[in-house]
Amino acid sequence: MSSKPFKIAIAGLGTVGGGVVRALSAHGAELSQRAGRALTLTGVSARDPKKDRGFELVGWTADPLELARGDADVVVELIGGEEGIARDLVTQALKNGKHVVTANKALLAKHGSELAELAEAHGVTLKFEAAAAGGIPILKSLREGLIAQPVAAVRGILNGTCNYILTEMEITGRPFAAVLKEAQALGYAEADPTLDVGGGDTAHKLALLSSLAFGTRPDLDSIAVEGIAHITPDDIAYAREFGFRIKLLGVTRRIGDGIEQTVHPAMVRQRSPLANVNGALNGVMVDAGAAGSYFFSGPGAGEAPTASAVIADIVEAASGGPAPVFGQPASELQKLTPADGKAAVAPWYMRFEVLDEPGVLAQIATHLAEAGVSIESMIQRGRAPGEPVAIVMITHETAQAAVERALKAIAASDKVRSRPCMIPMEAA
């Protein structure tokens, strides 16, 4: 082992930061052996120094930027946020020649390219395994393991909150709002759940997966994002009847000369590994072309899994030299060329709530035919007198633009009582 210790400074002592400190304390000797040098915590920064966290605040400072100016070899940023103090801390630490480990997916999705250039210019490493899918080593796998063949697609359940809600809706038959309220009470969802249930959190993680998979700069702005708030228990029940389950997926794939990036609820076949990722777990499938298909699953959040990913990055920073942040030199990362996702074909699930009157189905069929949408199967069941009736259809493979065009015309009818629902059926 080297006689020179590897000094660690941690900014942010919430769930993950506290878990990192506890892991270093409990397993420091073993981790130091793996790193080839002693791992020493020399500084921390947190909002409240008086809070009882169950451990001593070593080298505490109120100003996180002090950690970037101190003697630490690595600064661990666990503050969060794409701007402000988190960005300033990471930028200053890299400029001062310090390695950086972070779990901040929002920061990297927005500023990953420039931070990668900064790290490489100063001969240090920027590591972020904990920024996507928590304890699942998917980023390392894309960066180092699955490089022999070009990746064709990555599909992932990347948000435990959404997966928990959809799983509970399926098990209990309760509506979205009721399950969301329960998820908040249990701590699975934030008081303001918009970033999770609206798909934004998944988009941040997808931008990083896409960059590593395809050698492009992270491009958050080109991701089409749709959340799960409009999904109903009826949609989930119909999906089951057709042999599918509904999951919120982040999908990035090559289409022609471009790359499609999208976050959306999707119908996934029940036999697919992704369909059987339940509760707050995450799951990722990688289509590595001739090398085959790979599936990763595990906890996507929580103290132990996320802290474990942070610790792994610290050990790697201590034991190895700097490596390209996104798998290849930042100067060689290509600008992502967005593919026209609306031109890509897939089967679609569609649900309409309509008045149960003669001619309504014929009217819907006419709009679908005019848009070039062909129907593979259909379910229609009556309800109590005076109530709207659901018409559910599965299309043959059709471009999204054609389905949207048909639904826009159908929604304009006074016989349609709510916004039509459309959900793609993923080949995963």
Residue indicated by tokens 């072309």: 289
- 205 catalytic, yes or no? yes
Longest dimension (CA), the chain: 85
Cβ(231)–Cβ(165) under 8 Å?
Answer: no
- Rounded to whole angstroms, the Cα distance separating 308 from 314 reads 10
* Distance separating alpha carbons of residues 335 and 337, to the nearest angstrom: 6
Strands ordered across the beta sheet of 74-77: 37-45, 2-11, 74-77, 99-102, 126-127
Does residue 281 contact residue 161 with C-beta atoms inside 8 Å? no
Phi, psi of 259 (to 5 degrees): -125, 125
CA 1 from centroid of its chain's CA atoms: 38
Helix axes 233-241, 160-172, angle to 10 degrees: 80
128: tokens are 């972020």
Would you say 345 and 398 are in contact if contact means Cβ atoms under 8 Å apart? yes
Give the active site residue among 127, 140, 205, 247: 205
Task: Just list the catalytic residues.
Answer: 205
